[in-house]
Amino acid sequence: MKTIAIIMALFLATGLSAQENNIKKEAAKKEQKERKEKREAALAEQFNETSAILNSMRFVLEADYLSNQYGYRSMANSNLNFILVDSAEAVIQTGNNVGIGYNGVGGITAKGNITRWVVNKNDKRKTMSVEMNVSTSIGFFQVFMDISVSGKTTATLSSNWAGKLIYDGRLVPLDDSYAFKGSSL
């Protein structure tokens, strides 16, 4: 009789323990679902902010790194290395802290008109891309920007007289940028 009571108590304890584990698992799933919903809402908000910056056509890609077509990558001063878009005009600039350069900041500044502007959005992946052509006094530039939801941007710049230059940095509204524009050619 005593053994039957012990066995019954064990079965009862095991059932309660299993029920408690199920409750914990359900609570963990609910918490995970809430975190996922918050993360998705934050991503949607960032996507809308970045999209608004692009639609305003008043932004600056401030480059932290520059790369060439051979894969050479170097750190860059984001105040001097940028692609600026202001309505129908664009400024493409390279520069460094040493040397004078053609623009007074150790590089080249090309200012011109945007002749082509195409924005592609991927709502599922929350990414965007911009294709634009810029006609300047020193040549014709093709720019392709790949923009993540957070504003991290990689822009590939091709011209009719040189190879490729890749700007890797962040997209900021024009009013929030600290870019210093040198003398354009």
Is the pLDDT reported for residue 5 higher than 80?
no
Backbone angles phi, psi at 80, to 5 degrees: -110, -15
pLDDT tens-place string over residues 60-95: 999 999 998 888 999 998 888 999 999 899 999 988
Q: Give residue 134's pLDDT.
A: 95
Verdict on whether the full-model pTM lies above 0.85: no
What's the CA gap between 164 and 67, in Å, rounded? Answer: 8
Query: Three-state SS across the chain?
Result: CHHHHHHHHHHHHHHHHHHHHHHHHHHHHHHHHHHHHHHHHHHHHHHHHHHHHHHHCEEEEEEEEEEECCCCEEECCCCCCEEEEECCEEEEEECCCCCCECCCCCEEEEEEEEEEEEEEEECCCCEEEEEEEEEECCEEEEEEEEECCCCEEEEEEEECCCCEEEEEEEEEEHHHCCCCCCCCC
CATH topology of domain 1-185: Lipocalin (2.40.128)
Alpha carbon separation from 136 to 93, 98, 140 (Å, rounded): 12, 25, 6
Q: Give residue 2's pLDDT.
A: 62
**Type of residue found at 82:** F
Q: Give residue 120's pLDDT.
A: 93
Q: Give residue 147's pLDDT.
A: 94
Is the pLDDT reported for residue 6 higher than 80?
no
Q: Give residue 9's pLDDT.
A: 58
pLDDT tens-place string over residues 95-148: 887 777 777 787 888 999 999 999 999 888 888 999 999 999 888 999 999 999
Question: What angle (nearest 5°) sits at the alpha carbon of residue 106, between those of residues 112 and 170?
Answer: 65
